[in-house]
Amino acid sequence: MTVNKESRRQKAEGRKKSSFILYPSSFGFTLIEVIIVLFIIGIAAGLVGVWINRGSGTLELRKFTKDVSAALRYARTRSVSEKKIYCFVIDKEEQKYRLYSEDTDYTKIDLVTEKPVPEELQMTLRGSDEDAPNIEFYPRGSSSGGVIEIVPEDGAGYFISINRITGKEDVEKAE
């Protein structure tokens, strides 16, 4: 029995030595494999950076559209609750929009808010006077109505439709 144990031990030791000698490169990566993996990771990182940068313009467009929509909702709500006329005005020369509150007899006018339009966006109001585009919200919930178009320089934007009867706004993506 002792001989049998010794021969097993010798065989086991021999296998360990021979397996290490037969497969010396199986314990790591070669330099070429590491360089190829790093090259692929670099290309992927570059593409992700371009993709993220391209999406920032649409993010700003959506954020600005939501801000304008919120200002219109605010104007309608405050007009009804305060029994005043609220006027949303687009100033194309200064690239701003303003919200005014007026008494029903047009004697006192207050500036409620004034915000800039981002340089890469254009905001126009269809169905209104071209020189002074504005939308009025009246104390009974109605409005002068119109469609505000917000578009970037290089693509499709959004339409904000204001209903004449209800004064409510509806945002739609332009195609």
For residue 125, give the CATH number of its domain. 3.55.40.10
Residue 146 lies in a domain: yes
Q: Sign of the CA dihedral 156, 92, 62, 45?
A: positive
The per-residue pLDDT for 81 is 94
The whole-angstrom separation of Cα 147 and Cα 126 is 5
CB neighbours of 152 closer than 8 A, spacing ≥ 6?
Answer: 57, 61, 120, 121, 122
Q: How many domains in the chain?
A: 1
Residue 80 lies in a domain: yes
Give yes or no for a contact between 135 and 87, defined as CB atoms under 8 angstroms apart.
yes
86: Cα within 13 Å, side-chain hemisphere: 26
Residue 99 lies in a domain: yes
| List of E strands, 46-127 | 85-91, 96-102, 109-116, 121-126
Work out the mean pLDDT of the chain and round it to a whole number: 82
Tokens found for residue 102: 């007026």
Give the residue numbers spanning the domain of 147: 49-173
The whole-angstrom separation of Cα 114 and Cα 116 is 7
Q: Which residue has the tokens 């959506």?
A: 62
The whole-angstrom separation of Cα 121 and Cα 153 is 6
Phi (first) and psi of residue 48, to 5 degrees: -65, -40
Q: Partners of 109 in the beta sheet? A: 102
Chain segment 66-96, per-residue pLDDT in tens: 999 999 999 999 999 999 999 999 988 899 9
Residue 42 lies in a domain: no
The one-digit pLDDT tens for each residue of the chain (175 residues) are: 555 666 666 555 555 554 445 555 566 788 899 999 999 999 998 888 777 766 666 788 889 999 999 999 999 999 999 999 999 999 888 999 999 998 877 778 889 999 999 888 888 888 766 666 889 999 999 999 899 999 988 778 899 999 999 989 999 988 7
Residue 117 lies in a domain: yes
The per-residue pLDDT for 16 is 52
